[in-house]
């Protein structure tokens, strides 16, 4: 199985989700989204695939302090993206808690 994770190596939840994917034998593409931010269109597709609104993909501290369009904000400032965001052939989700990745395996 192939998986893609929007990953922040400094985040314990992101590291845990990556470990679960690896332990399950997934072939993981790791996107360090702070270094290589997804575009607005990519974020829109991820949210649609996850069945969530773009506002739900914002970190809580960002969503509470802005009236900006969530997609514009996340594209402009990737640190506002909730993490980890994981996608497989079965769908996409925000893996909080990390064990949620099992739903995509």
DSSP percent split of the chain into helix, strand, coil, nearest 5: 45, 20, 35
Q: Exposed, middle or buried, 68 (CB in 10 Å: 0-12/13-18/19+)?
A: middle
38-50: b (≥16 Cβ within 10 Å) or e: bebebbbebbeeb
CA distance from start to end of the chain: 7
Of 6, 11, 60, 103, catalytic: 11
Active site residue 47: no
Catalytic residues: 11
């Amino acid at each position: 199985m192939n998986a893609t994770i929007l990953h922040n190596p400094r985040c314990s939840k992101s590291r845990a989700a990556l470990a679960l994917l690896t332990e399950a034998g997934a072939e993981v593409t790791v996107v360090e989204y702070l270094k290589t931010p997804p575009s607005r269109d990519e974020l829109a597709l991820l949210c649609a695939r996850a069945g969530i609104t773009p506002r739900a993909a914002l970190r809580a501290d960002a969503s509470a302090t802005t009236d900006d369009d969530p997609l514009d904000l996340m594209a402009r400032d990737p640190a506002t993206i909730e993490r980890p965001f994981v996608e497989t052939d079965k769908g996409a989700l925000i893996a909080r808690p990390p064990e949620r990745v099992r739903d995509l395996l």
